[in-house]
Structure 1
Amino acid sequence: MDELWTNYLLPWGGHVLTAIAIFYIGRIIAGVVIGGASRVMTRTNIDPILTSFLLTVLNAALLALVTVAALSQLGLDTTSLVALLGAAGLAIGLALKDSLSHFAAGVMLILFRPLRVGDYVEVDGVAGSVDRITIFSTRLKTPDNRVVTVPNGNVFGNTMVNYSEEPTRRIDLIIGISYGSDLLKAKQILIDMVENHPLILQDPAWRVAVSELADSSVNFVVRPWVKAEDYWTVRFELIESIKLKFDEEGIEIPFPQMTVHLDKAE
């Protein structure tokens, strides 16, 4: 019995106690490291989504390191364990390669911020306001209140238009009048409307000009600048006001017509 105690139980007991101590002390140290990393990321204004993910990965890595260190005290071959974990990680990575590409794109979106929550954007053929950015996907709300979830790989890997990045936008209207209408009168009406609209900015300067002598119309370009949030309001108001004013002043807006000639049969 003394031999069993001396040769087996006592040494193994010491190894077990050492392994338990390494595991619990390692967890405490890992907690301290995670807390410090969290405070540093908070002070540097890293996005909360990215902060949460990075802390989770760091915590898992530290716990794996502590577990391997504890198991090595029990005489286990940790080299084989590490190799097994590496092979499992490789297999999982290959199986989830598309998800990992979306994750990498999500990290890039969060780091470089080409779009933010509330921005009106057009990505992957979808236009809407950014409602939420997660680590794997971006959620958009369309103007008719549909919710569209776009994988981050499609967002970061394709052409993206951000209509909210700049504080101002230019409205581009093409207004046609018939060749028989008074060109100078029509131009002055357009100038007055742009000049007197309360939401149109005077700087940058707006522009009203004859742009084309088309097949059936004389075309004007009307290019006022507005605040980004006023874009659609001003655009709709201008189109309606121009039509009503042209009707009032006898300015004709041409539209496609077909003239049919009938020959009398003899």
Structure 2
Amino acid sequence: MLENIQNIDISKMNMETLTERILDWTINSGIKLLIGLIVISLGFKIIKKIVKYFTVFLEKREVDITLIKFSKSLITGALKIVLVMSTFAYWGMNLTGLAALVASAGVAVGLALQGSLSNFAGGFIILLLRPFKVGDYIQAAGYEGLVEQIGLFYTTLVSVDNKEILIPNGILSNGSLINYSAKETRRVDLKFGVGYEADILHVRRVLRDIVDRHELIIDYPEPFVGLIEHADSSLNFVVRVWCKTPDYWTIYFDLLEQVKIRFDEEQISIPYPQLDVHLNK
């Protein structure tokens, strides 16, 4: 088809001959070009439906959501490449020559796409080792958020204030990260300061009563309440309780609020740093 266009020598043709050649190309090759474009357009739509049905099939089989989304990206890309290459072959393009050209430029392309290839490999490593999955809350590469999607090259996080964060898979697979959702339970650690004049036994009983009354705090491991430090301006108590991971922040904020209310009711003072200045005349 492309050779037919190159063989047309306009300088040696009159208008009638040129019209005939253009008409001949339109009938023979132009229609072929149009059919190829239609095939690509329809093929992309069919691929979209195939991937959708495949995704539904995996979901019914209760396959992990991380694997589903990664497979969706991989299959979509592979099918589109096959479709486009098949269309090129239908148009009469020399795919053997194209393959040789790609092979000869492999080294240069590899160097140019070194980062992308690293991210692509990192995606497979994440999928294989499973350091996190979709729905986990992680901290990595200086960012933290809820894992929304693990793609071929990037992992998408959503921050607590609903910002979308894209982190290359190569960085995630080679760097350190914290997965806050990996375990079913977490420990909440809080520190409360009281004045030196306070009755420490009374303070400990109040804190323990607050802990025992909270419905979301689990009994095992056993909660701990104790005096941890004689600080410059206060006696510091530590409260360590265990809970289910999704309840972490609920308990964290509840304890902060309830301790302040109970300390006010029990007339337990919460000191603040003070500075005494002495002036000599």
TM-score by length of 1: 0.71
Contact 1:49/1:135 (<8 A) preserved: no
Mean Cα deviation higher: 246-255 or 81-90: 81-90
Cα gap change, 1:51 to 1:233, in 2 (>3 Å) = closer
1:142 counterpart (159, 171, 176):
159
Q: For 1:112-191, list aligned pairs within 5 A.
A: 112-191=129-208
RMSD over equivalenced CA pairs, Å:
3.1
Query: Matched residue of 1:198: which SS?
Result: coil
Determine whether 1:205 maps to 2:222: yes
Choose which of 86, 89, 99 in structure 1 pairs with 2:103: 86
Q: CA deviation at 1:83?
A: 5.0
Distance 1:49 1:237 in 2: 36
CA distance in 2, matches of 1:149, 1:100: 16
Instruction: Report the Cα distance in structure 2 between the residues aligned to 1:183 and 1:209, rounded to whole angstroms.
Output: 9
Letter in 1 for 2:215: P
Segments of 4+ moved more than 3 angstroms = 48-52, 54-61, 80-85
Following the alignment from structure 2 to structure 1, what is the Cα–Cα distance between the partners of residues 123 and 253?
Answer: 36
Instruction: Quote the residue 2:9 is aligned against.
Output: none
1:245 partnered with 2:269: no
- Number of aligned residues: 218
Give 1:1-266 correspondences, 5 Å limit: 47-52=67-72, 53=74, 84-263=101-280, 265=281
Deviation at 1:90, TM superposition (A): 2.3
Q: Which amino acid aligns with 1:122?
A: Q
Could you tell me which runs of 5 or more consecutive residues in structure 1 were left unpaired when the two chains were aligned: 1-34
Q: CA deviation at 1:51?
A: 3.6
Offset at residue 184 of structure 1 (A) = 0.5
Between the aligned partners of 1:81 and 1:117, the Cα distance in structure 2 is: 39
Q: Compute the displacement of 1:259 (Å).
A: 1.4
Partner SS state of residue 186, structure 2? strand
Distance 1:56 1:128, change over 3 A: closer
Return the alpha-carbon distance in structure 1 between the equivalents of residues 178 and 184 of structure 2: 14
Whole-Å separation in 1 of the counterparts to 2:184 and 2:245: 5
Flag structure 2 segments of 5+ consecutive residues without an equivalent: 1-49
Q: In structure 1, what is the Cα distance between the partners aligned to 2:135 and 2:226?
A: 35
What SS does structure 2 have at the residue aligned with 1:224?
strand
Identity percentage over the alignment? 42
Q: Which amino acid aligns with 1:245?
A: R
Aligned-residue offset at 1:128: 0.8
- CA apart distance, 1:256: 0.9
Matches of 1:115 and 1:207, distance apart in 2? 30
Per-residue displacement from partner, 1:34-93 (whole Å, max 9, x unpaired)? x9xx9xxx79x59245445268559969x98xx99xx9xxxx9x7x87654322222211
- Aligned-partner Cα distance in 2 for 1:140–1:209: 38
**Cα pair distance change 1:258/1:237, threshold 3 Å:** same
Counterpart residue type for residue 119 of structure 1: D
TM-score, normalising length: structure 2: 0.68
